[in-house]
Amino acid sequence: MDDTERPRATVPPGPGTGLPTFELPPPDTKRWVPGRKAIVVAAVHLGVLSLQEACQRYQLSREEFLAWQRAIDQYGVPGLRTTRLQIYRDSDIRRPVPGPVQLSLSSSRSSTSPPGE
């Protein structure tokens, strides 16, 4: 069955909450495109689903869900593309890490005396 023909689960907003109605992906979703991941993260963020409910419904580990959340926080929805994950990971690895702070020694020491004397 094509995704466009598949019935969608709609979660109504709570009374007076002003929350939008979410069309949650079906529980048996196998192909996680960025938009579907973003909907699940938004549903948890807005309290439509708890983290535990989302993980159970979609058979996700807590770590996988939190990785989706971090990707959105750092890079937006495009960060949820699996092809982008490698690019972002690589750029994080290549980012220069600040080295230890080097303090200059006082010029009052003699250049010939060993340290500690």
DSSP secondary structure letters along the chain: --TTTS--EEEPPPTT--PPPEEEPPTT-----HHHHHHHHHHHHTTSS-HHHHHHHHT--HHHHHHHHHHHHHH-GGGGSHHHHHHHHHHHHHSPPP----PPPPTTS-TTSPTT-
Instruction: Please report the pLDDT score of residue 91 as a whole number.
Output: 58
For residue 65, being part of any structural domain is answered with yes
For residue 26, being part of any structural domain is answered with no
The domain containing residue 53 runs over which residues? 32-93
Percentage of the chain beyond pLDDT 70 is 51
Instruction: Please report the pLDDT score of residue 1 as a whole number.
Output: 46
For residue 81, being part of any structural domain is answered with yes
| Higher pLDDT, residue 111 or 54 | 54
For residue 107, being part of any structural domain is answered with no
Q: What CATH number is associated with residue 46? A: 1.10.10.10
For residue 86, being part of any structural domain is answered with yes
| Higher pLDDT, residue 38 or 91 | 38
Is 0.75 surpassed by the pTM of this model? no
Q: For 23-52, what is the mean pLDDT? A: 92
Q: For 8-13, what is the mean pLDDT? A: 53
Domains: count for the chain: 1
User: Does the pLDDT at position 64 exceed 80?
Assistant: yes
For residue 85, being part of any structural domain is answered with yes
For residue 16, being part of any structural domain is answered with no
For residue 70, being part of any structural domain is answered with yes
Q: How confident is the model at residue 81 (pLDDT cuts 50, 70, 90)?
A: confident
Instruction: Please report the pLDDT score of residue 17 as a whole number.
Output: 53
Instruction: Please report the pLDDT score of residue 50 as a whole number.
Output: 95
